[in-house]
Amino acid sequence: MSDPSGAAAPAGVPDDHWRPTYEDIHIMIRNMADIVREEFQPDLLVAIGGGGFFPARVLRTFLKKRDEKQPGKMRNVPIQAIGLSLYEEVDGVSEEQIGTEVVRTQWLDTARRGTDSQGRGDAGGLLGKNVLIVDEVDDSRTTLHYAYHELLKDVKKALEAYTPEERAQLPPTRFAVFVVHNKLGPKRAELPILARPADDRIVDGVSTGVYYYAAETTPPVWIDFPWEQTDILEHNRLAALAQAQPRPEAPP
């Protein structure tokens, strides 16, 4: 029977859209946070805005650290934000370039960061920290690649002010990536992802690898994030409809 109101479910649910609800994502982040906390012990989150804002804020709820001076007290892990966009909307950009160029709209507030008694910088607070880079999705890996390599560059530059002996004494700087969804499929850029934490090697004060956490791994579907929805109740309705059915599979 046709629905004269036009309010029926789209014919194709499940279609090639993945529709996590806020609650789905919150719970996925909670589950993965246990592993992140145990394995990586982040000192600092770097949220890639705007997509990383929500996951970073929820992660913080689950990554509280015991205060060193007051063991009964739990402290928030600080969040720094950076702004990155894929440069996709300019006339004359070729198909090849689309999705590969990253534009910085905000970076770490290095002007406000510490220097030691000899005037040496701390790379926007990254030096000697376990730094967790947070975004919503790892699609082409372009943005994550850019964020990791640019932050690493800042750290290596700060480390130049130290002698090799001093570098060996410093607490090491480590990087990890956290995304809500990793989309399976070809990537346009690579990260030196550690197969196991035990493979982590510190050279000249900084890890040569990246810890990698995806709360969920998906086929290369469209992901409709709840914070992008103009009608969140309709989004949740479609999510519930799709949940009652098998999810779409990755193409062969």
Active site residues: 139
Q: Which is nearer to a copy of itself, 54 or 212 (CB)?
A: 54
User: Is the Cβ of residue 111 or residue 198 nearer to a copy of itself in the bound state?
Assistant: 111
* Least separation in angstroms between CB 241 and a copy of itself: 17
CB of 60 to a copy of itself, least distance (A): 6
> How far is Cα 91 from Cα 56, in angstroms, rounded to an integer?
33
How many C-beta atoms surround the C-beta of residue 222 within 10 A? 12
For the record, the structure tokens of 199 come out as 């493979």
Tell me if 176 sits within 8 A of 215, measured CB to CB: no
Q: How far is the CB of 197 from a copy of itself (least distance, A)?
A: 25
Report the candidate in 153, 134, 25 with the shortest Cα–Cα distance to residue 78: 134
- Cα 42 to Cα 19, 39, 127, 157, 239: the distances in Å are 29, 9, 13, 22, 32
* CB closer to a copy of itself out of 13 and 27: 27
**Chain Cα centroid distance, residue 23:** 18
| CB nearer a copy of itself, residue 41 or residue 85 | 85
Q: Which of 210, 247, 174 is nearest to 20 (CA)?
A: 247
Which residues would be at the binding site for a copy of itself (CB under 8 A)?
A: 21-23, 26-27, 30, 47, 49-51, 53-54, 56-58, 60-62, 73, 76, 78-81, 83, 89, 104-112, 226-230, 232-233, 236
Residue 75 C-beta: closest distance to a copy of itself, Å = 8
